[in-house]
Structure formats: structure tokens, C-alpha cells
Structure 1
Amino acid sequence: MRILLKLSGEALAGDKKSGFDEATVLGVAKQVKAVKDTGVSLAVVTGGGNFWRGRSSENIERTKADAIGMMATVMNCIYVSEIFRSLGMKTSVYTPFLCGSFTKLYSKDAVEESFAKDEVVFFAGGTGHPYFSTDTATLLRAVEIQADRILLAKSIDGVYDSDPAINKDAKKYDRITIEEVVEKKLGVVDMAASVLAMENKMTMQIFDLNEKDSIINAVKDENIGTLVTA
């Protein structure tokens, strides 16, 4: 089985809300190691929201703001990769643009070689282009590496018909199609990512990263959180 795990930048910050929370990242690393020890191949995409969001400043032109966001994901992937290495895992960080000697330039062949070496593969830098989110990068890389499933680790335990923080009667979906997500404007991923999911029949599983052993449980059981099918 091959899994792509998407970690939001905010998730890496834990309760601090910005920067890194090492205890949180170490907890993720321990779960990933346990999953890998069962023979699962695993890739990781991180967001950059713990350092920068695309609209963090109204005074910066969009393409430059997105470039800053891409670099935030590079920092996140390098950091998380090193925490993984501290537990004995082998890793490689790939970017779609040259980034000195800090990362490797993305290619499908190079990534397959990393998987063959039993490495956890990190996809940093988004798509390498402005106007595309890390949601889109997640779906794009998942399709390219022929992942069996995408795990979206969030701060909420699934997909709801309305915001449960506002509406105490919000209904949680156990399963929902990506077409329904788009029709109901539930905002699981952005439109470009949704189209990629629909066209390539990619399954996504949304769950709460903060629940105990959530990554391990999500890999074992598709009924954890919400399963979004195409």
C-alpha cells in the first residue's frame, strides 16, 4: 500500500499556533514509523500556514506571496524530515524547483528510487507555481505516485455539513463523494484539487490529527473520520 499524508502547517505548530511544536511533530513521526514498519510506503506533503498564508499581507503581490508560502513548506518538510530521521527513518525531500543542496529536484523516477530504498518521501514547495495551493500539490503528487489513498490530517475529525464550531447540530459525514463536496461547497479541498480527485478517482480520508494514534488508525480503518470518494 502507498499512502500520501497531508499535514497542515497549523498542525505542526500544535497549541502554539505558529512555528514548530516538537512534541507534536515527534508524535507524528512515531506514528509514521509504526505505519512504515507494517510495510506501507509513505509520502508527506506539508502546508505552510504555521509561517505564512497566501493572504498574510495585502501589500505583497500574489505571485510573491505564494512564493513565500512555498518556501514555508520547504522549511516545514526539512524540519519534519529531520525529526523522522531522529527515529531511524530514511527520508528524501523533493521540490519542483532548485533549492541548493537542501532538497532534491522532483522527478517521478527519482521518487520511485527513494521508495525502493524504503525512504519516506517529502514533497515540498507545492506545485512550484503561484495560484496553486498545497491541496492541489497533494492531489497532483498522489496521482503521479499512484497512491492508494490520501490522508488529510486536520484539526477537525471529519467533514460536516456546516461549521460544528458555530452550529452544534452540524452533521458529520462518514462517507461522501467529491462531487457532493463540490455541490454542497463544503471546502474539503479547493476546486483545482477537487477536479484532480474526480478525474483520477482518488480517495481522500479526513481525520483529526490530535486524536490518539490517529494516523495509525486511519491507515488501518477507512471508517475513521470521513472518507471522500470519487
Structure 2
Amino acid sequence: MSDGQTNQPAPAYKRVMLKISGEALMGDQGFGLHPPTVERIAREVKSCHDLGVEICMVIGGGNIFRGLSGSAQGMERTTADYMGMLATVMNALAMQSALEQLGVFTRVISAIPMDQVCEPYIRRRAVRHLEKKRVCIFAAGTGNPYFTTDTAATLRASEMACEAIFKGTKVDGIYDKDPVTNEDAVRFSKISFDDVLQKHLKVMDASAIALARDNHMPIIVFSLDEPGGFRGILAGEGTYTIVHE
């Protein structure tokens, strides 16, 4: 019996967390959502979902509002962070719409209850959605100020028993210095959690790195701008950096 995918290698991971920044959704714009870019990322997610991979997502809110910068401009930090959390809900709803237009069943699950808009976070219910092959987009961070969406992604990945965190960025991995401004920047193919912390490499914030390390959760950093990059890595191909113990 053939299902037409006999030559497709089994994906390297069965359940993953995809973390992307809000800025990834704004394309070449300086602000907000760029629908063609949202659709492109949604197609990338669908291609991996079609492999049978269970996918969680966390999307930042920096394209709409960044709590820390609001705080730096004089706004009270807690208020600024809550505004940032609401921005992530807007991005999650945009991604849900794009995925469902492609026929992928999706749930937006918010750490801050807003029942008319999306589901509240209940771990067992979220796990059940994944088992039913729905993409779960976790919104509103951890629901607490002073925590980034990187930390939220690592927390939810641990709670959902994901096998890895995929961090989509503008470059194809982690470099010893900014590859955009330094032609001699060297890319790491593998690096330890401790080295990331000691070298102050800007992968995720220190809380997220420590949480991933403590929960034995590898982080795979890859380029979101590379077509097929996410699917390629799941199939054991492509260019990326893996952060591990």
C-alpha cells in the first residue's frame, strides 16, 4: 500500500516549537503585518505539518509594540509588557487566519483569558489539540510581565513535551559576531548552552537559554527567509546551528 510519500524520509522530530519574532511578519515594512509574508510563513508551517509533525508556535509582538522599548521611553514596565502581550495575540490571530485559509486546523491559546477571541491556556487541552494534529499558537507570552516571548516559547515547549525549539531568524544560524556587518563572522554548526551564555551570543535571552538547558531542550536556529528551510531541517538537511548540552 502506498500513500504517495514512501520516498519522504521520516521527520527528525515529531513535535516541535517554532518561535518567530513579530518583526518576521512585517516583511520589508517598518511596522505592522505584511500579508504576503504572513502567508509565506504559513505555507512553510503547512509543509512541515503535512509531514505529520505536531507544531506549536510562539510569535513575538515587536512589529506592533515592544514592551521593553516602551518602558525605556518612560512607560511603566508592567503596562508596557502587557501591551506587548496583546500585540502577540494580534499576530497569532493573523497567523491562524493564514493557516486556516490553507486548510490547517489551528488554535490560538492565550495566557491571558479573552474567551471571545481565543482559548485560555489549559495544558491538557493544548496537548489534545496537538494529538488531533492542530497547530497550537501560544499567545500573550507567559501571561506575566518581565518575561520575553523567548522564555514563553521555551516554557510552552517544555510543557508540551516538544523535542526541539526552532528559532526562525534572518540569518542561517548563530555566528561569533554579526554576519551582516562582519564579513569574517564564523557560523557555529553546534554550540553548547553554556557557551551561548558565556559568550553573550544573542540567540535568546538568558532565562530562555537556562530553561532550555535545564529541560534538555535543543534549540535549532535557522533562517526564516530561506524557502523550505524549516521543512528541510526536519528532513535532516539545510544550514542551521543547534544549541545543545
Do both share a fold (TM > 0.5)?
Answer: yes
Q: Does 1:9 align with 2:13?
A: no
Tell me, yes or no, if the aligned pair for 1:205 and 1:222 is still in contact at 8 Å: no
Residue of structure 2 in register with 1:52 after alignment: 65
Give the RMSD, CA atoms, in angstroms.
Answer: 1.2
Residues 1:27 and 2:43 aligned together = no
Alpha-carbon distance in structure 2 between the residues aligned to 1:210 and 1:29: 13
Tell me, in whole angstroms, the C-alpha distance in 2 between the residues paired with 1:143 and 1:127. Answer: 13
1:70-219 alignment, distance < 5 Å: 70-219=85-234
Q: Is the 8 A contact 2:38 2:94 kept in 1?
A: no
The more displaced of 138-147 and 53-62 is 53-62
Q: Note if contact 1:174-1:223 (Cα within 8 Å) is conserved in structure 2.
A: no
Distance in 2, Cα, partners of 1:179 & 1:56? 28
TM-score (norm 2): 0.91
Which stretch shifts more, 113-122 or 64-73? 113-122
Secondary structure of the equivalent of 1:32? helix
Q: Which deviations, in whole Å up to 9, do the C-alpha atoms of 1:21-70 show, x marking residues without a partner?
A: 11111111112112111111001100001111123331210000100100
Inter-partner Cα distance in structure 2 for 1:203 and 1:222: 17
Secondary structure of the equivalent of 2:58?
A: strand
| Contact 2:232-2:238 within 8 A present in 1 as well | no
Deviations 1:131-162 (A, max 9, x none): 00001001000100010111101111110111
- Length, aligned pairs only: 230
- Whole-Å separation in 1 of the counterparts to 2:182 and 2:47: 36
Check the 8 A contact 1:151/1:218 in 2, yes or no.
no
Structure 1 or 2, whichever has the larger Rg, is 2
SS at structure 2 position matched to 1:122: strand
- Distance in 1, matches of 2:59 and 2:169, equals 11
5+ residue gaps, structure 1, are none
Q: What code does the residue aligned with 2:20 have?
A: L
| Residue identity matched to 2:22 | G
Offset of 1:223 from its aligned partner? 5.7
The 4+ residue runs of structure 1 with deviation greater than 3 A are none
Q: Is the 2:54–2:131 Cα contact (8 Å) retained in structure 1?
A: no
How far apart, in 1, do the equivalents of 2:167 and 2:29 lie?
A: 21
